[in-house]
Amino acid sequence: MRKLKELLRLHFDLKLSQRQIAKTLNLSTGAVNKYVKCAIAAGINWPPPPALENDEEALAAALKPVQVSSAAAASSSSSFTAKSQFDFKIVHQEMRLKGVTLQLLHEELSQGYKGDDFISYSHFALLYRKWKDKLPSSMRQTHKAGDKVFVDYSGQKVTVIDTDTNLNREAEIFIGVLGCSNFTYAEATWSQQLVDWISSQRRMFEFFGGVPALVVPDNLLSAVSKACRYEPDINQTYAGFIEYYGTAVMPARPYKPKDKAKVEGGVLIVQRWILARLRHRVFMGLGELNSAISECLTMLNSHPFQLLPGSREEAFKLEKPLLRPLPLKPYVIQHFKKARVNIDYHFELEGHYYSVPYHHCKEQIEIWYSSDFVSCYLKGKCIARHERNYKIGAHSTIAEHMPKAHQKHLEWTPGRFINWAAAIGTGTLELVTYLLENRPHPEQGYRSCLGLLALERKYGTKRLESACLHALALGTRSRKSVLSILKSGLDLQPIKKEDFISILPDKHENLRGSDYYLASLSKAKSTCT
């Protein structure tokens, strides 16, 4: 009550706005507006009359809005009966269209009446609320056309024979219900996993021929990573799907089934209209089951409403133009994960390694991947994109991602090394060929060959060729041996005959030896005699 006097002072004396008064007194702007109007109607200004200035209860009573009882309002228009003038079923249907308000409908219905022949708007609203309270809870919510679709799974499963294994499997039933028209979609899937969850909604949008503004799912793990009453965490992959179709997701609050009363009612209807009719049939695979569900779904959507005029199909004709258009291309499911870039500027995805620009080493990135492509994002910016590769242990490396030193390494090929070595001399050519051929893969000899290239820049072409010849003579065919020869200056000395070391073994199954030739000679002499 003390705030009433302060409210009058701030308004009439200080001339503050109603918004400023509401913020100052911690009141709603509606409450401030109501009391200001009552004060003006009662002729109360600032300061208030002496009789009210010191009597807060009297001031509150003077500022109390005049309320007209519903009985009095009904008696003032006792000649009016709702049933004789209009049908609230039509009013309820009209209220679902965007932009249509109860006040607009009251004005349209009052046309043709003069003076007080038609009831007031407040009485009209009161009668409509009383009529709507008699509806089932799932029908009391007024949803605008094209606004929401409610999605969930039926708790009742259907037994299907899996054509791949010839074993019985339990199939899940996905259900989607448009909020305005109650137009229903249903299909069977093997699971409630993320891929099935997204695929079902994609086919649902295609069935509707458009996309509503909001998708209202339950707190399913495939949709919501962390359930919360106020700010649930949406699964990243599912969020990407929602963004692609230009809509938004608003999960129902945990343990609040009334938030998704539409789909709860739709689940019951699907169970009674579809699953109950199919209970005695045996289905070979999901395709046969979904064909049967589609036939029953057509019957369900064309069946007349019990409490409202028309059917789901007829109501959907009014709602469909207000749905958002489908994308030009259907959505391709993309999975999401986080990964940290290794020191070799590659990250691992299902056993394969993909590159990113080398300066992102050790940073955590976001990966979106499908069956065809792998995209890498850092702080919302795409930093790399690869074609999907399923080879375990292999690398997909883009040259531009590598440091300049590594890029130069990548430019070398076995043929280039051979040509470079041949230009220096036969000894270098033989040593380079040996390094390339005596590795499981030629690339493993690149580093040694690049080491020889560095020695040419330091010691020159002639000394490198001489050092390679000495290494071949000594049987030490490695870069380290060539470097040791160059450092010691051994390459400047002539190669002696005793320095040559045969790299062939003394005994080998393919070596005949001198004894073989002596035996052959004796055998030939005995034959001649």
- Same domain as 425, residue 300: no
CA atoms of 49 and 512, how far apart (whole Å): 135
pLDDT of residue 529: 46
- Same domain as 126, residue 157: no
Can you tell me the mean pLDDT for 389-414?
Answer: 74
- Does the pLDDT value for residue 205 go beyond 90? yes
pLDDT of residue 131: 75
Q: Which residues pair with 170 in a beta bridge?
A: 159
Contact yes or no for 483/455 (Cβ under 8 A): yes
- Same domain as 480, residue 362: no
Cβ burial of 443 (10 Å; 0-12, 13-18, 19+) is middle
Residues in the chain: 529
Can you tell me the mean pLDDT for 453-473?
Answer: 88
**Does residue 327 lie in a domain region?**
no
Q: How confident is the model at residue 2 (pLDDT cuts 50, 70, 90)?
A: low
- Same domain as 484, residue 365: no
- Same domain as 495, residue 431: yes
Contact yes or no for 181/315 (Cβ under 8 A): yes
Of 322, 345, 377, at which residue does a domain stop?
Answer: 322
Tell me the angle at which helices 414-424 and 461-474 cross, rounded to the nearest 10 degrees.
100
Element (H, E) at 160: strand 148-162
Range of the domain at 385: 335-403
Q: Is the whole-model pTM more than 0.85?
A: no
User: pLDDT per residue over 315-367, tens digit each?
Assistant: 888 888 889 999 988 888 888 889 998 877 889 998 898 999 988 888 999 99
- Same domain as 491, residue 356: no
- Same domain as 176, residue 237: yes
- Same domain as 127, residue 57: no
- Does the pLDDT value for residue 221 go beyond 70? no
What does residue 184 show for φ and ψ, rounded to 5 degrees? Answer: -115, 140
- Does the pLDDT value for residue 510 go beyond 50? no
**Does residue 527 lie in a domain region?**
no
Q: Which of 441, 439, 440, 421 is nearest to 431 (CA)?
A: 421
Contact yes or no for 167/161 (Cβ under 8 A): yes
- DSSP letters for 330-399: PPPP-EEEEEE--TTSEEEETTEEEE--GGGTT-EEEEEE-SSEEEEEETTEEEEEEE----TT-EE--G
- Same domain as 454, residue 348: no
User: pLDDT per residue over 304-316, tens digit each?
Assistant: 877 667 788 888 8
Contact yes or no for 367/374 (Cβ under 8 A): yes
- Same domain as 426, residue 376: no
- Does the pLDDT value for residue 443 go beyond 70? no
Contact yes or no for 432/451 (Cβ under 8 A): no
- Same domain as 230, residue 340: no
CA atoms of 10 and 16, how far apart (whole Å): 6
- Does the pLDDT value for residue 220 go beyond 80? no
Of 403, 434, 449, at which residue does a domain stop?
Answer: 403
Q: How confident is the model at residue 262 (pLDDT cuts 50, 70, 90)?
A: low
Number of domains in the chain: 5
pLDDT of residue 58: 78
- Does the pLDDT value for residue 257 go beyond 80? no
How far does Cα 172 stand from its chain's mean position?
22
